[in-house]
């Protein structure tokens, strides 16, 4: 039998029973330590060890990971992932990765004022213009940033952003439509 959560997701009773029997205090401490390690390795707002957007801390990411699995937003499949703690570590890593990719963590990109500075490559200028065109659609911008960072496969982008591969496919379709519209606007300026 299955149980429907407040979030509208379904969790099998057997999975719910396993989750209810976990030593959550110990798991929370382990997840917090792992999230702290991840946070220290990353660059936040352009600074190594900089402030995490929104004032979030390792305990926030640990809590979110536990809640996401317990409430069913992240479906744990014991047959596919028999080790719950490893699965929770993966969820915590995904949440931290999502925070890194959010627009709030991006530093402002400015063209140099110095006339002796090297001009931007034409491809970089187009990408920056396209990112500006997408300013009202941060989800699309996040996918573009992933692509800039070398994530071109659907599964890699999904993993980096904590999405399902089908969500990435839908975003890529939308991105292709926006790119066509952007190119039309650019052609009209020429």
Asked if 56 and 25 count as a contact pair (C-beta separation under 8 A), the reply is no
Average pLDDT, the chain: 77
Q: Tens digit of pLDDT for each residue in 27-50?
A: 999 999 989 888 887 766 666 667
Q: pLDDT higher for 152 or 123?
A: 152
Average pLDDT of 16-30? Answer: 91
Is 160 within 8 Å of 146 (Cβ atoms)?
yes
Residue 138 to residue 144: CA distance in whole angstroms? 10
pTM over 0.75: no
**What secondary structure letter does DSSP report for 12?**
E
Residue in 92, 81, 82 with CA at minimum distance from that of residue 31 = 92
For 171-190, write each residue's pLDDT tens digit: 989 988 988 888 888 777 65
């Amino acid at each position: 039998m299955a149980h429907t959560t407040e979030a509208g997701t379904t969790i099998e009773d057997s999975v719910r029973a396993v989750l209810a029997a976990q030593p959550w205090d110990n798991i929370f401490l382990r997840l917090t330590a792992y999230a702290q390690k991840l946070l220290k390795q990353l660059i936040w707002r352009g600074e190594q060890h900089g402030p995490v957007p929104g004032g979030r801390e390792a305990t926030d990411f640990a809590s979110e990971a536990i809640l996401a699995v317990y409430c069913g937003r992240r479906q744990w499949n014991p047959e596919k992932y028999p080790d719950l703690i490893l699965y929770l570590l993966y969820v915590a890593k995904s949440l931290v990765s999502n925070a890194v990719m959010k627009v709030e963590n991006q530093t402002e990109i400015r063209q140099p004022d110095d006339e002796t500075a090297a001009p931007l490559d034409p491809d970089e200028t187009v990408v920056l213009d396209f990112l500006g065109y997408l300013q009202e659609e941060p989800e699309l911008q996040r996918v573009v940033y992933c692509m800039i960072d070398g994530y071109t496969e659907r599964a890699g982008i999904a993993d980096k952003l904590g999405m399902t591969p089908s969500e990435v496919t839908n975003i890529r379709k939308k991105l292709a439509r926006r790119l066509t519209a952007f190119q039309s606007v650019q052609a009209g300026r020429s």
